[in-house]
Structure 1
Amino acid sequence: MLAILVPLAGYLIVDHYGKDAVPIPRYYSPERVDTVVNNGNVSYDTVYHTIRDFQMTNQLGEKVSLKNMEGKILVVDFFFTSCPSICPTLTKNLRMLQSAYTKNDTLLQILSFSVDPVRDSVDRLRKYAYDYKVNPDNWWLLTGDKKEIYDLARHEFFVSVTEGDGGPDDFVHTEKIVLIDKNRHIRGYYNGLDSNDIKRLATDVSILNLAKEKKRPSFAKFLKGLFSGK
Structure 2
Amino acid sequence: MRFISLSALISLVLLLSACGSSAIDDFSYTDQRGEPVALEDLKGTPWLATFVFTNCNTVCPPMTFNLSGIQEELEADGLSDYKIVAFSVDPIVDTPETLQNYLAQFSVPDDSKWHLLTGYTQDEIAEFAKDNFKSFVRNDPESDQVIHGTNFYLVDQEGVVVNNYDGYDSVPVEDIKNDLRGLIEEY
**Which category of TM-score, normalised to the shorter sequence, fits these structures?**
0.7 to 0.9
Q: Following the alignment from structure 1 to structure 2, what is the Cα–Cα distance between the partners of residues 180 and 122?
A: 23
Q: Which has the higher contact order (CA 8 A, sep 6+)?
A: 2
Alignment pair present for 1:82 and 2:55: yes
Task: For residues 115-153 of structure 1, give each alpha carbon's deviation from its aligned partner in whole angstroms, at most 9, with x where no partner exists.
Answer: 001001111111011111343311111112123322221
Q: RMSD of the TM alignment (CA)?
A: 2.7
Q: Which moved more, 1:176-185 or 1:193-202?
A: 193-202
Secondary structure at 1:49 match in 2:
coil
Identical aligned residues as a percent:
30
Q: Following the alignment from structure 1 to structure 2, what is the Cα–Cα distance between the partners of residues 197 and 104?
A: 17
1:111 maps to amino acid = V
Kindly tell me: are residues 83 and 185 of structure 1, through their superposed partners in 2, closer, same or farther at Cα, counting changes over 3 Å?
same
Q: Following the alignment from structure 1 to structure 2, what is the Cα–Cα distance between the partners of residues 190 and 74?
A: 13
**Residue of structure 1 equivalent to 2:107:** 133
**Residue of structure 1 equivalent to 2:42:** 69
Number of equivalences: 166
Q: Following the alignment from structure 1 to structure 2, what is the Cα–Cα distance between the partners of residues 78 and 64?
A: 16
8 Å contact from structure 1 (residues 80, 115) kept in 2? yes
What TM-score results when the alignment is normalised by the length of structure 1? 0.64
Q: Following the alignment from structure 1 to structure 2, what is the Cα–Cα distance between the partners of residues 50 and 170?
A: 30
Q: Following the alignment from structure 1 to structure 2, what is the Cα–Cα distance between the partners of residues 163 and 126?
A: 23
**Residue of structure 1 equivalent to 2:135:** 159
Q: Following the alignment from structure 1 to structure 2, what is the Cα–Cα distance between the partners of residues 170 and 87?
A: 11
Q: Following the alignment from structure 1 to structure 2, what is the Cα–Cα distance between the partners of residues 145 and 163?
A: 14
8 Å contact from structure 1 (residues 101, 108) kept in 2? no
Alignment pair present for 1:114 and 2:88: yes
TM-aligned CA deviation for residue 98 of structure 1:
1.6
1:194-205 alignment, distance < 5 Å? 194-205=169-180
Secondary structure at 1:200 match in 2:
helix
Task: For residues 37-68 of structure 1, give each alpha carbon's deviation from its aligned partner in whole angstroms, at most 9, with x where no partner exists.
Answer: xxxxxx95743311121011111010110121
8 Å contact from structure 2 (residues 138, 146) kept in 1? no
**Residue of structure 1 equivalent to 2:7:** none
**Residue of structure 2 equivalent to 1:173:** 148
Q: For the pair shown, which has the larger CA radius of gyration, 1 or 2?
A: 1
Kindly tell me: are residues 64 and 205 of structure 1, through their superposed partners in 2, closer, same or farther at Cα, counting changes over 3 Å?
same
Q: Following the alignment from structure 2 to structure 1, what is the Cα–Cα distance between the partners of residues 148 and 171?
A: 21
**Residue of structure 2 equivalent to 1:91:** 64
Kindly tell me: are residues 44 and 79 of structure 1, through their superposed partners in 2, closer, same or farther at Cα, counting changes over 3 Å?
closer
Q: Following the alignment from structure 1 to structure 2, what is the Cα–Cα distance between the partners of residues 149 and 82?
A: 16
1:29-44 alignment, distance < 5 Å? none
What TM-score results when the alignment is normalised by the length of structure 2? 0.77
8 Å contact from structure 1 (residues 73, 205) kept in 2? yes
TM-aligned CA deviation for residue 171 of structure 1:
4.5
